[in-house]
Structure 1
Amino acid sequence: MDALHRAGIGVILDWVPGHFPKDEWALGRFDGTPLYEHPDPLRGEQPDWGTFVFNFGRPEVHNFLVANAAYWLDEFHADGLRVDAVASMLYLDYSREAGQWRPNVHGGRENLDAIAFLQEANAVAYRTNPGIVMIAEESTAWPGVTAPTN
């Protein structure tokens, strides 16, 4: 990273907070229980990719992921993060048929926990690292998904 910066090259990291592998060596069922993933399979698995989905509503997971973003920016001095697969985080029905997802507490399809997570991740990133760039791989035109929250 330092060599790239010395050469005048900015570095944007591909950051994947939306899903993670089911491999034995990964975070899935880390202690035999769904610690990082949502315990409800309709919310805890991404069927297209065969991966687990983080349980953004669990404070420990939420904080772990926000701290992870801050770590890359603070310790490695990345110039920004490209947030992978944001649409799959924003919508509970992403790539699911009727009956394969549960609505939020208001009856909608928005993942309120993921939205709150993205808002906090952006707030922390912009507050602690002025001038960084947050980019979303987001195909649904959700407005301001990586904008500062203030």
Structure 2
Amino acid sequence: MHFKVKKFEELSTLELYKILRLRAEVFVVEQDCVYQDIDNKDQKALHVIGYNNNEIVAYTRIFDAGDYFENASIGRVVVSEKARKYGYGHDLIKKSIEGIQENFYTNQIKISAQCYLNKFYEKHEFKQIGEEYLEDGIPHIAMIKS
């Protein structure tokens, strides 16, 4: 798998379509969660796109401090169902962390993680802060990496 990091304006129409399709497949259909995915934050984000054989199979959007949370952040973390068995999620998080370090010059990163992924993010040195909360009907926790 290889990655590209792009500004919103650099995304082709086809890339944007495939990213939104992947996000809908996982967050809306697979997780059975009706929510407003198109939230006018994509324009501020950098988009970390994972390609395998020219197909988009992994994606996050990353933000500078103040554009989403007080700290830099990673969101919309998604790997296609058929690609999860290859460990691409870990590659994706590593690349997203690198993207924040290279573009926003910080190691302080905050995420809003689905609770069941707590151990996954701990492997990347994120630590839970605060209590569990519901976001779009799904249990989440805030996590920080410094």
TM above 0.5, yes or no, is no
Higher Cα Rg, which structure: 1
* TM-score (structure 1 length as normaliser): 0.37
TM-score (norm 2): 0.38
